């Protein structure tokens, strides 16, 4: 019987680069293993990924888990005790059925109870919880000390459950080391970008999803593009741009 592999798409609200990574990993591993893509079912269905990215996912199964937490880190909406009693139980149910559990996302991964674990991080928007735990508002120094020790123990347990951590770029790897204290290997996303021979010219191209949270600083990029276009138009010669930025953006 083929080993069972679970690939968890933690950020599955829309189809994008993260879903391409999940779909490509699933398609490759499904040739030799029993593969499931795990997500919350809100942003897409498995068949849509295969059609969108031109991949054969016919051998891949889909596991939809409703009510997935936005974060598996401790600080925030739950206490350390409630996470140990409730959160770790959820982590076990999510990960234990698999010989290999693959986490794909931007956050802190769940504690894996699979035979082996792997993290593919697109960018670590969450850090190790220790810095957030030592809050100056805590009344007793002993309370702060105990909280930090507990978080350190849980963080060590969490990261030991993953044999490999991969980053999608050297930039992401540098932030994983800074925020997680963990070394990672760079594994670039599976993007096919054939380049045809042709005349070169100086251009700045930015590709990214419009996000209301503006995490990719698209607002600053648009303002810079407008300023650059105005400067270029003020100079003699042909403007190399491909089009103006709409004023409403």
> In this structure, are 46 and 142 located in the same domain?
yes
> In this structure, are 72 and 181 located in the same domain?
yes
> In this structure, are 62 and 177 located in the same domain?
yes
Q: Which pLDDT score, from 0 to 100, does residue 223 have?
A: 80
> In this structure, are 138 and 113 located in the same domain?
yes
> In this structure, are 176 and 93 located in the same domain?
yes
Mean pLDDT of 122-133: 76
Mean pLDDT of 140-160: 82
Please state, for a pLDDT cut of 70, what percent of the chain lies above it: 77
DSSP secondary structure string for all residues of the chain: -PPEEEEEES--SS-SHHHHHHHHHHHHHTTTSEEEEEE-SSS--HHHHHHHHT---TT-EEEE-TT--S--SSTTTS-HHHIIIIIHHHHHHHHTT-SEEEEEESSPPPPP-SSEEEEEES---S--THHHH--TT-S-HHHHHHHHHHHHHHHHHHHHT-SEEEESSHHHHHHHHHHH----EE-------------------------TT-TT-HHHHHHHHHHHHHHHHTSSS----S-PPPTT-
Is a pLDDT exceeding 60 seen at residue 236?
no
Kindly state whether residue 68 falls inside one of the protein's structural domains: yes
> In this structure, are 73 and 119 located in the same domain?
yes
Provide the domain limits for residue 237: 202-249
| Banded model confidence at residue 35, pLDDT cuts 50, 70, 90 | very high
> In this structure, are 138 and 58 located in the same domain?
yes
> In this structure, are 175 and 214 located in the same domain?
no
Is a pLDDT exceeding 60 seen at residue 246?
no
Is a pLDDT exceeding 60 seen at residue 61?
yes
> In this structure, are 106 and 146 located in the same domain?
yes
The count of domains in the chain is 2
> In this structure, are 154 and 79 located in the same domain?
yes
Mean pLDDT of 231-245: 45
Which stretch, 7-21, 64-78, 90-104, 124-138, has highest mean pLDDT? 90-104
């Amino acid at each position: 019987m083929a080993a069972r592999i679970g690939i968890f798409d933690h950020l599955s609200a829309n189809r994008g680069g993260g879903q391409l990574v999940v779909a490509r990993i699933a398609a490759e591993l499904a040739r030799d293993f029993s593969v499931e893509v795990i997500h919350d079912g809100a942003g897409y269905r498995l068949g849509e990924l295969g059609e969108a990215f031109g991949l054969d996912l016919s051998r891949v199964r889909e596991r939809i888990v409703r009510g997935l937490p936005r974060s598996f880190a401790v600080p925030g909406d739950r206490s350390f005790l409630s996470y140990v009693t409730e959160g770790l139980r959820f982590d076990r149910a999510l990960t234990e059925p698999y010989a290999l559990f693959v986490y794909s996302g931007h956050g802190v991964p769940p504690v894996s109870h699979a035979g082996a674990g792997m993290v593919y991080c697109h960018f670590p928007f969450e850090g190790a919880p220790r810095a957030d735990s030592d809050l100056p508002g805590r009344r007793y120094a002993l309370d702060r000390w105990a909280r930090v020790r507990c978080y350190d123990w849980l963080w060590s347990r969490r990261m030991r459950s993953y044999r490999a951590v991969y980053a999608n770029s050297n930039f992401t790897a540098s932030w994983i080391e800074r925020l997680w204290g963990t070394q990672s290997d760079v594994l670039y996303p599976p993007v096919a970008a054939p380049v045809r021979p042709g005349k070169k010219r100086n251009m700045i191209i930015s590709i990214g999803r419009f996000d209301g949270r503006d995490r990719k600083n698209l607002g600053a990029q648009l303002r810079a593009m407008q300023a650059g276009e105005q400067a270029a138009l003020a100079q003699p010669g042909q403007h190399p741009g491909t089009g103006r930025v709409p004023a409403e953006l």
